């Protein structure tokens, strides 16, 4: 059974993606060395990469995304040793890195005094967000480039993160030297961000590694109030983060005429103009992998709104519901960055 039906067509992408073979990786590393931007796959979402040690490359990332300068970027490194050259690890950070790297966990740690990463990437904070991605193409690129790569999700600020190369091509194709095509992202949700600059580890953003798994290593995490804006110490919790163009209606149990349906599990709801099912069998891992691509499919002017069925608030459901709640915020329209 197809997961989606009645999907309206979208315009073709702006540039053709690049095969991530040896030649493709070499071209991408060369572009990074020249200060250009490169989109690349990770296991979570596609990243918009630039040389993290270059102020101009990092500034180009903010400009391409239209991202407010107060929202810092995640820097990607090849391994824990490369991370330890940039930030000060404590015991908790060491344990988390050993348990989850490479993987969908980002650690926010105090910058070292000799940290060569552009201060712009930290957006004025004394901390830096770091992650070792678990994706062969990302790791090949980091090995070839041999420097840290700043890479937020490769989408215009305030829109849905990309989980395929063609998502990137459609929205940021004119901002990058090339897009490495690694196929669809296996996890499909951004990394979990843990703040380690205070007294206790803080869940700054739920993501691809479940809070339960992190807590098995750290003990109970501090959690900012759901949906709160804890800026500037946790700017990632800005509410307008993940908006599609159509309004979202959560916990839907029926359909208003003209609405598309984002369903989960088996159900008896009828009358939707189009439908995508996150996981017909009710599996949260499958639902996470499908979430952003399906929101894009249903985010079409042909639909008045997207009705979303309830998803359980456990495991990856925490991150799925976090993204869905942000996508319903009325302030969710893409904002111009401050001058």
Q: List residues binding ligand TXA (CB under 6 A).
A: 42, 44-45, 47, 71-74, 106, 108, 122, 125, 127-129, 131, 133, 151-153, 190-191, 193, 195, 204-205, 234-236
CB of 190 vs ligand TXA, minimal distance in Å: 4
121/128 Cα distance (integer angstroms): 8
Looking at the Cβ atoms of 62 and 264, the one nearer to ligand TXA is 62
Looking at the Cβ atoms of 108 and 176, the one nearer to ligand TXA is 108
# of chain residues touching Mg ion (CB under 5 A):
1
Q: Per CB under 5 A, does 153 bind Mg ion?
A: yes
CB 278 within 8 A of CB 262: yes
CB of 276 vs ligand TXA, minimal distance in Å: 22
- The site partner of 120 among ligand TXA, Mg ion, none (C-beta below 5 to 8 Å per kind) is none
- CB count within 10 Å of CB 1 equals 5
- The site partner of 293 among Mg ion, ligand TXA, none (C-beta below 5 to 8 Å per kind) is none
- The site partner of 127 among ligand TXA, Mg ion, none (C-beta below 5 to 8 Å per kind) is ligand TXA
Looking at the Cβ atoms of 153 and 328, the one nearer to ligand TXA is 153
CB of 260 vs ligand TXA, minimal distance in Å: 26
Count of alpha carbons within 13 Å of 132, Cβ hemisphere only? 15
127/134 Cα distance (integer angstroms): 23
CB of 81 vs Mg ion, minimal distance in Å: 27
- The site partner of 68 among Mg ion, ligand TXA, none (C-beta below 5 to 8 Å per kind) is none
- CB count within 10 Å of CB 208 equals 27
Q: Given the DSSP bridges, would you call strands 38-40 and 47-51 parallel, antiparallel or unpaired?
A: antiparallel
Q: Which residues contact 192 (CB under 8 A, 6 or more apart)?
A: 104, 105, 106, 203, 205, 206, 207, 208, 209, 210, 211, 214, 319
Torsion-angle region of 301 (φ positive above 0: left; ψ -120 to 50: alpha; else: beta): alpha
Q: Which residue is nearest to ligand TXA (CB)?
A: 236
- The site partner of 172 among ligand TXA, Mg ion, none (C-beta below 5 to 8 Å per kind) is none
Looking at the Cβ atoms of 96 and 252, the one nearer to ligand TXA is 96
Q: Per CB under 5 A, does 44 bind Mg ion?
A: no
Radius of gyration of the chain (CA): 19
Q: Is the peptide bond before 102 cis (omega within 30 degrees of 0)?
A: yes
CB 66 within 8 A of CB 339: no
Binding residues vs Mg ion (CB under 5 A): 153
């Amino acid at each position: 059974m197809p997961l989606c039906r009645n999907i309206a067509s979208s315009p073709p992408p702006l540039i053709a993606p690049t095969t991530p073979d040896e030649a493709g990786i070499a071209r991408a590393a060369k572009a990074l060395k020249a200060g250009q931007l490169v989109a690349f796959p990770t296991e979570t979402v596609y990243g918009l990469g630039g040389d993290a040690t270059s102020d101009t490359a990092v500034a180009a990332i903010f400009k391409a995304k239209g991202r407010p300068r107060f929202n810092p970027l995640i820097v990607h490194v090849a391994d824990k040793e490369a991370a330890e050259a940039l930030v000060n690890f404590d015991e908790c950070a060491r344990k988390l890195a050993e348990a989850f790297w490479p993987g969908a966990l980002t650690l926010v740690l105090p910058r070292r005094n000799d940290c060569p990463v552009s201060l712009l990437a930290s957006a004025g904070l004394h901390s830096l967000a770091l992650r070792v991605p678990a994706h062969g193409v990302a790791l090949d690129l980091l090995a070839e480039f041999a420097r840290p790569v700043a890479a937020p999700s490769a989408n215009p600020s305030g829109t849905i993160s990309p989980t395929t190369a063609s998502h990137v091509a459609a929205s940021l194709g004119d901002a990058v030297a090339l897009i490495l095509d690694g196929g669809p992202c296996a996890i499909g949700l951004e990394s979990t961000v843990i703040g380690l600059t205070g007294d206790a580890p803080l869940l700054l953003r739920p993501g691809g590694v479940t809070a339960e798994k992190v807590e098995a290593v750290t003990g109970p995490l501090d959690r900012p109030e759901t949906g709160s804006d804890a800026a500037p110490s946790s700017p990632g919790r800005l509410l307008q983060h993940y908006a599609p163009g159509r309004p979202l209606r959560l916990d839907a149990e029926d359909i208003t005429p003209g609405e598309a349906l984002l369903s989960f599990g088996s159900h008896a709801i009828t009358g939707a103009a189009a439908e995508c099912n996150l996981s017909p069998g009710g599996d949260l891992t499958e639902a996470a992998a499908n979430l952003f691509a399906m929101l894009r499919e249903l985010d079409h002017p042909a639909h008045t709104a997207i009705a979303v069925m309830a998803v359980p608030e456990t495991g990856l459901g925490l991150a799925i519901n976090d993204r869905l709640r942000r996508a319903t915020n009325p302030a969710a329209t893409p904002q111009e960055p401050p001058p």
